Amino acid sequence: MARNRTNGEVPEYAELGDRLRGARTARGLSLRSLADRLGVSPSLISQVERGRARPSVNTLYAMARELDISFDELLFQDVQPTVPPSRELPGASPARPPEPWPLAPPIPVQRGSDRRSIRLASGVIWERLTTESIPNADFLYVTYEVGGASSPEHEFQRHGGQEWGYVLSGRLGVTIGFDEHLLEAGDAVTFDSTVPHRLFNAGKVPVHAIWFVLGRGHVDAGAPPRAHGTPSSS
């Protein structure tokens, strides 16, 4: 991944940071107030917003929830089409408002060579398998590098939605509530995302999997962004 040599900024994280900063300021939150809500340091949020730090999966979940922004919008915001200039003749007064410029239909095929991706701090890489954002749905090619995990060993995440996963290669550990499962190539899993859970590489080679999450944007406002120690639903 290419870096800007003048300030260490990674372009993909600079775009993510800009979206986070915009959402935070739109809600009138200071760095410190958001940091206090998330239980992290203001310097961490500042580094993420400036594109100089990779956020963890847990941190991203917590930020998206506090800022009331969809996860897919936060990670893979699509470029909106530019509206072309008016085609009225110079000096003419339009008799009626101009017709909306027709938008091109979404491209149905996502080529493997140009799908959008992001590498997170916890050794996890997410690649979007759709050409554009789909409301409340995430279709992803996920890689867990050796030692990679969705959260630290004694922390769990929970969010709205239902998840389906299919392991292509490697060994993926999945903790759901009090139960731990080991998935290998060809195995699949599905679970309620509101139950505290953790995903981790349980082998010595990278894990590659296909993941689908439906309804991630619907989050219980009373749910904590992360749970420490023993999994809990409260």
pLDDT digits (tens, 9 = 90+) for 54-93: 777 777 778 888 888 776 777 766 544 333 444 444 554 5
pLDDT tens by residue, 33-48: 999 998 889 998 999 8
Assess if residue 188 is contained within a domain: yes
In whole angstroms, give the CA distance from residue 183 to residue 171: 6
Is 72 within the bounds of a domain? Answer: no
Q: Which of 123, 129, 106 is nearest to 210 (CA)?
A: 129
Backbone torsions φ then ψ of 64, nearest 5 degrees:
-60, -40
18 within domain boundaries: no
Tell me whether residue 49 is exposed, middle or buried, using C-beta atoms within 10 angstroms of its C-beta: 0 to 12, 13 to 18, 19 or more: buried
Q: What integer is the mean pLDDT of 218-225?
A: 42
Is 172 within the bounds of a domain? yes
Tell me whether residue 86 is in a domain.
no
Average predicted confidence (pLDDT) for the chain = 78
Cβ contacts of residue 114 below 8 Å, gap of 6+? none
Taking the CB of residue 222, how many other CB atoms lie within 10 A of it?
6
- Our count of domains for the chain comes to 1
Q: How far is residue 150's CA from residue 201's CA, in Å, rounded to a whole number? A: 9
CB-based contact 78:133 (threshold 8 Å): yes
Cα–Cα distances in Å, from 37 out to 21, 46, 63, 122?
15, 15, 9, 21
**pLDDT digits 0-9 by tens, 177-217:** 999 999 999 999 999 999 999 999 999 999 999 999 998 75
Alpha carbon 171 to chain centroid, angstroms = 23
Range of the domain at 143: 109-228
Output the domain CATH number for residue 159.
2.60.120.10
